[in-house]
Every structure is written in structure tokens, then in C-alpha cells.
Structure 1
Amino acid sequence: MRRFDMDWLRVLVFGLLILYHVGMFFVPWGWHIKNNEISLDLQWPMLFVNQWRLPILFVISGMGTYYAFGKRSAGQFAKERLIRLFIPLAVGMFLIVPPQVYIERIATGQFSGGYFDFWPAHAFSGGTYPDGNLTWHHLWFLPYLLIFSLVLIPVFSYLRKNPQARFLKWTAGMYSNPWKIFLLIIPLYLAEAFLEPFFPVTHALVGDWFALAFFLVLFFYGFLLIASGGRFWEFVARYRRIYLMCGIVGFTALIGIILLYPDSTWRHFTEAGIKVFNIWSWILAIFGYGSAYLNKPSRALAYANQAVYPFYILHQTITLVVAYYLMDLNWSVTTKFVILTVVTFGGSWLIYEFLIRRWKWIRPLFGLKVRRLNVDAYNNRNKELIQDIQLSKAKQ
């Protein structure tokens, strides 16, 4: 049974990711190129989003894995993951990402000449980025997701075949009150407290131990929360206001400790606890409000749900190319932000609609099935589920 709220959240969070990458052009944090005017105010909303945007994507991916596993054997699942993740990654690294490296190299004076002087002769030379030019840049999410999916196949197979497993019963027991589910932040805290100081996030896969551990746990949690029974969605919808208040308190405390206390051992361990509490609270709140208001089909969702993967692959290249031509102009940050946002979304849509979506031999290169989704079939799918949800709410 399809959860339309999961589809909506996936679309909305990936859309937010595009806005986040546009914002990276303007804030003081390290990125590929920078605007000639830096906005200090923009970093605060970006810090808020940065806390939960990637964690919730891994949780959603884990939830989707549960549903995907139900229709396939372990071998079929592994094959499907390789097709849906490795092929777009390879295509992205060969065609989509090199323009980003080229823009960075010419902006910093490390290369001169036209793009086809750079690609393919220099696009993959010198080793891996940042010293060399071979990189997956923003597509790092795909190899991490692929590795997690393959490594956890034995665990997922066991849990799918043993729905009465003691561990699943223990997890289901957390739905008895709104606070037990916070026990799940313990592994996240251990990673944040004891791995993050020694293994800063690089997205390079090799040696990226904190990110691997942290995101692997979140990916597994996504699978676990669904595998432990169908009560999860009702549970988070019921307590969504509590989790929203926890998120507000958590983020406020996080900002407070960052601004008021200097770096120290005490601050590190305290901040780690506040950080994972904040992340988990917002994830639960977002799922709760999604379950309450977004579990409904629509033609817009059917279209966007297909478009989101190609948009993710394409967007940062468009952003960087346009940003290069804007970076030295004496225009306001607001004007440049709007232009970058409109052109990034508009350019991604044009390429998706008129090149990727309509050509069956291009679709698999961007993670889509060969056949185009029948929108009406998507909208009609699981109508009984939606009616049951509405009937249940009416009875309540």
C-alpha cells in the first residue's frame, strides 16, 4: 500500500535541497564558488534546515526500501538498486558533474580554455577531488545509499521473513507513549560524540566513518519503523505537536550553546546530545504532519514524484553555471537568489520534460523506469487505503 505522504515529503525535501544549494552560494561556509557579497543572515535558516534535511532523506529511503523489499527477493532487490543507483551515478560523474568542476577551476584560475578543452581530456585527471578532477560532488548520496542497501540485505531479509522477531516487538513497544521513541537517538549520539571529532564529513566514502555510521543508522531506522507494524503513522500524527515543540526547544538550545559557550569538552558532549535530539524531533514532527495532511494522491504528486530524481541529478550543475555569471555582478543577494532559484528549477524542468521524460532510452540513465508512469493509475492506486484513512479519522 502506497504512502502518498512519503512521496510528498520526498519531493518537498529534495526541493528544499535545491534551495539549500542555491543558498550555499551566498553563505560563508565552504562551497565551490562564492558570490561577491556574503549574507550572514541567510546562514541561520540554512543551519536550521541543515540539521534534518539529509537525515530525513535517509530515513525516507529506508522506509521505501521496506516497501521495495516486499515485492522482490534479495537478489532482485540488489539488481534493482544497482540499476536505479549505480547507472545514474556513473552517468552523472561522466556527464553532469564535470561542468561543475570546470566552473570551479576557471573561477579560481586553475584552468583556462573552453569546456571542451577541459572535457574529457582533463575532466577525470589528477586523481580524486579536490586535488584532482574526478568526483561525484552532490551525487554522493547515491553511492552511500547503494552501499547501505547492499550491506543491510541480510538484515532486511531476516526482518521481512520474521515479523514477530523480538527486536521488532521491542520497537513496536515504543509506540505506547511519545517519549520511548527517543531511545533511538542513543546510537546517533554515540556517533556524534565519539566519531564526528575524528572523522569530519567528506562525502568521499573512503574514511568518512562518521557520516557512514550516522546515515547508516538513520537508513536502518526508516526500515525498522515500518517493519515494526503499521502503527507508526498513526503514532507520529497523534503526537506531532509534542515533537514540533521538542524540535523548537532543541534548535533554540542548539543555537544558544553555539553562541554562548566556547569550544570545550563539556560543550562538545552537550552539543552532541542536543543536536541528535533536535534532529530526531524534527524528523518525527515532519512525519507526523505529513501523515495528518499529506497522505492523499494528486496529479501534481504523480508528476513530481517521477521528476524529483532527475531534478536532483541535474540541479547543482545548472546552479553553478548560472552562479558563475552572477558572482561578480553588483546586484543584491535577493535578486541573485531569485534568479538562481528560478533558472535552476526552470532549467531542470525543461531538460526533464523535453529530454529525459519522453525518451525511453534516456530514462534509465536518470534512475527512471523505461515506461512512463500512468498518472491516472497512480492516482487510483490505493484509493481504498485513502478511504480507510478518511473513515478512521471521521470515526475519531
Structure 2
Amino acid sequence: MSTQPPQREYFLDSIRAFLMLLGVPFHVSLIYSSQHWTINSPTASFGLTLFNEFIHSFRMQVFFVISGYFSYMLFLRYSPQRWLKVRLERVGIPFLAAIPLITLPQFLLLKNISDKFPNWSQFTLYQKYNTLCWELISHLWFLLILCLLTLIGYQLFRFLATRSEHWQDKKVSWWQVILGLTLSVLAWCVLRRVLVITLPLVMKDALMNIVVMQVLFYLPFFILGALAWQITSLKALFIKPHPLLWLSTLLAFYAYHYNQHHSSGEGWLYELDALISMAMGICMLNICFSSGYRLLNSHSPRVTYLVNASLFIYLVHHPLTLIYGLFVSPAIHNNWLGFFAGLVMVFGVSFVLYEIHLRIPVLRFLFSGKTTK
């Protein structure tokens, strides 16, 4: 176990918070994009479609790298058992609390107000179960994945800690990072294609997709983050701007956009999406880390406030976006005006609710996993 207190990584805190807060413009822009969602405007905006796709193409890959970095850092600070307890409390309690308090009311709203489930009474028992899994986990999926990655990390980090002296001075290049992630994602693609061919019904199961496929896809990024703490040269690689990666972002995003609009789900849409998302994740990892290291690596009370508020804002913004889309957006006929009005409403109400929850100890515990001091 490390005896030195880790240096505060202000820029990583900031990037992680901003990535979570990007969930608000992502979901509000979904209303006005060409992507099929619960609520869509009569006409789609090409600009907001590109904006929405850009956020979606890289956000969670970079998020899980940072999560792996901080998870391993905390693993070295605590005993393994205490680390497991603290991490599961911080992630698992908000996940479990948000299901009855947020996503269940959200599902009932959509079922009774929108036309998303017109034939609910005719669903089989399994269809109802599978639909409820999708809807109740909903935008909380990343918390469930973090819980599962924490359980994997409990064993994995113990192995990494025993190899710390061997790997600390190891030299790593971008080509090694790219090759390692490419092989991991290719293995994921092969597994998915085999399951689609041999067990097509299983691949339509909500828990199968989240608990197995999503976890396996993001696990390499989580491990990469842990290695960035372990290997000094790897972190140095991330925070140094690489012009070729910055330029490659444009090509990778064009490929992502093209695949979203011109590939079919029965073809290779999802496998190509995985490979392209990996490339976008690598490119944006360098952009986010190198930019954040230079611009955000200092203490700021405002940024600290956003860091502390980001999880709560993420939890409550989704139903607020749906409420905006159902009851307010139809009255606004300009897509860009509707988008900015949605941001003001969702962010505004979210921060008001955040301030209210800070003053109620039981809500602070349920939505942060922390007891009030």
C-alpha cells in the first residue's frame, strides 16, 4: 500500500465532472437530432445531430479511463476490503436509490403520458421484464457498470499492486496503447458476432447487454486508466498534445457519423461503432487530458462545486429533459432556440434540486453514498 498521499489531480476531477455534465446537452440535443428518441422535434437539426453524435462518440470512453485512474489511486490508499466497501457505497447507493426515486417515476410518466408503450397491456411477462430493465436502469447504466468494474478491480488491482516496481519505469508509446485497445475491441466484436449468430434472443436481453457486453467493452479503458497511475510514462503520454491524434479526431468522427447513418443494425453497425468509438476515445483522451492539464490543473471553488454537483445533476437531468421534451419543447418551433431553452430549464432546475438535497441529510446520503459530517 502506498504511504505517500496522492497529489490532487485537479484537471482530472474537472474533466470527469464536465464529462458527466455533458449528459445534459447530450440528451437535450437528442430531441432535435435525427436520432430516434423518446421525444423528437418535427424536423431534425443537422448541426445538433452532429453535436449530439460528437458527445456520444467519446464521452464514456474517456470517463472510464479517468474512473480507472482514480479507482486504482484509492485502492493504494485504503486496504482492499475498505476500498471495496467505500467504492460500492459511493456508486451502488446512488444507483439503487435512483431506481425508485427517479427512473421508476420516469417510466410511469412515459407509460401514461407519451406513446412510447402503446401496447404495454399486450406485452408478455418477459417483454415487460426486459422493458423494465431497460427503462429502470436507463441512464443509470454507467453506475451499474462502475459497480461491476469495481468488483473486477478488486482482483485486478491486487495483481497490479504486486507489479508496481516492475511497471513504474516502463516506457509506453501510443502505438502500444492503440494496439492493446484495438485487440481488446476486436475480441469484443468477435464475441458479439458469435453471440448474435448463435444466441440472437440473448443479445436482445437488457441485462445481458449491460452487465456483459457493456462491461467488456469499457473494461480495457478502465484498465488503461489504472495503468496510467501505475506507469509514469503512460500518464505523461496522455497529457502531452499529439498533433496527429488531434487531426485524426476529425477523420474518426466522420467515420462515426457515416456509420450511424449508413450502416444497418443487421450488418456490422455495432462492430464498426465499437472500433470507431475506440479510435475516438483514444483521440479525445489525448485532447481532454492535454488540454485539461494546461487549463484546469489548479484549485477553483467554482470547479469544485461542479465536481461535487456533477453526479446529482446527472441523476436528475434525464427525467427533467423528458418533462421539457413532452410539455415545453412542442411550443418552441425553432430547434436551436428550443435547445438553449432546454439547457436553461434542465440545468436551472437541476441545480435548484441539488441545493435542496444538500440540506436534507437522507437525500445527501442516497444520492452521494456519503454520510453527513
Which interval holds the TM-score relative to the shorter structure? 0.7 to 0.9
Shift of 1:269: 7.3
> Is 1:189 equivalent to 2:185 in the alignment?
yes
Cα distance in 2 for partners of 1:7, 1:109 equals 37
Shift of 1:161: 3.6
The higher-RCO structure (CA 8 Å, 6+ apart) is 2
- Asked if structure 2 preserves the Cα contact closer than 8 Å seen for 1:129 and 1:135, the reply is no
Render the CA deviation track for 1:148-167: whole Å, top value 9, x for unaligned.
111221110221243124xx
Q: 1:302 to 1:266 in 2, by over 3 A?
A: closer
- Asked if structure 2 preserves the Cα contact closer than 8 Å seen for 1:203 and 1:211, the reply is no
- 1:375 matched residue in structure 2: none
- 2:215 matched residue in structure 1: 212
The AA in structure 1 aligned to 2:17 is: V
Please list, as runs of the form range in 1=range in 2, the aligned pairs for 1:146-185 lying within 5 A after superposition: 146-165=147-166, 168=167, 172-175=170-173, 178-185=174-181
Please list, as runs of the form range in 1=range in 2, the aligned pairs for 1:53-202 lying within 5 A after superposition: 53-105=59-111, 106-108=113-115, 127-130=128-131, 135-165=136-166, 168=167, 172-175=170-173, 178-191=174-187, 193-197=189-193, 198=195
- Asked if structure 1 preserves the Cα contact closer than 8 Å seen for 2:38 and 2:116, the reply is no
Shift of 1:4: 0.4
- 2:4 matched residue in structure 1: none
- 2:231 matched residue in structure 1: 228
Paired residue secondary structure (1:206): helix
Q: 1:247 to 1:207 in 2, by over 3 A?
A: closer
Render the CA deviation track for 1:105-140: whole Å, top value 9, x for unaligned.
1211758xxxxxxxxxxxxx9843526896121111
The AA in structure 1 aligned to 2:67 is: S
Please list, as runs of the form range in 1=range in 2, the aligned pairs for 1:375-394 lying within 5 A after superposition: none
Shift of 1:282: 1.6
The AA in structure 2 aligned to 1:152 is: G
- Asked if structure 2 preserves the Cα contact closer than 8 Å seen for 1:81 and 1:149, the reply is yes
Render the CA deviation track for 1:177-208: whole Å, top value 9, x for unaligned.
x4333222223431453245556997933344
Q: 1:84 to 1:203 in 2, by over 3 A?
A: farther
- 2:52 matched residue in structure 1: 46
Q: 1:188 to 1:39 in 2, by over 3 A?
A: farther
Q: 1:82 to 1:337 in 2, by over 3 A?
A: same
> Is 1:329 equivalent to 2:331 in the alignment?
yes
**Residue correspondences, number:** 352
Q: Structure 2: state its 5+ residue gaps.
A: 1-6, 119-125
Render the CA deviation track for 1:312-335: whole Å, top value 9, x for unaligned.
111111111121102433521122
Give the alignment's TM-score, normalised by structure 1: 0.78
- Asked if structure 2 preserves the Cα contact closer than 8 Å seen for 1:127 and 1:134, the reply is no
Give the alignment's TM-score, normalised by structure 2: 0.83
Cα distance in 1 for partners of 2:38, 2:338 equals 17
State the structure with more CA Rg: 1
The AA in structure 2 aligned to 1:79 is: K
RMSD: 3.2
- 2:14 matched residue in structure 1: 8
Q: Point out 4+ residue stretches in structure 1 off by more than 4 angstroms.
A: 131-134, 196-203, 253-275
Q: 1:260 to 1:21 in 2, by over 3 A?
A: closer
- 1:286 matched residue in structure 2: 288
- Asked if structure 2 preserves the Cα contact closer than 8 Å seen for 1:185 and 1:276, the reply is yes
Q: 1:233 to 1:324 in 2, by over 3 A?
A: same
- Asked if structure 2 preserves the Cα contact closer than 8 Å seen for 1:89 and 1:142, the reply is yes
- 1:366 matched residue in structure 2: 367
The AA in structure 2 aligned to 1:64 is: F
- Asked if structure 1 preserves the Cα contact closer than 8 Å seen for 2:19 and 2:59, the reply is yes
Cα distance in 2 for partners of 1:271, 1:222 equals 22
More helix by share: 2
- Asked if structure 1 preserves the Cα contact closer than 8 Å seen for 2:32 and 2:335, the reply is yes
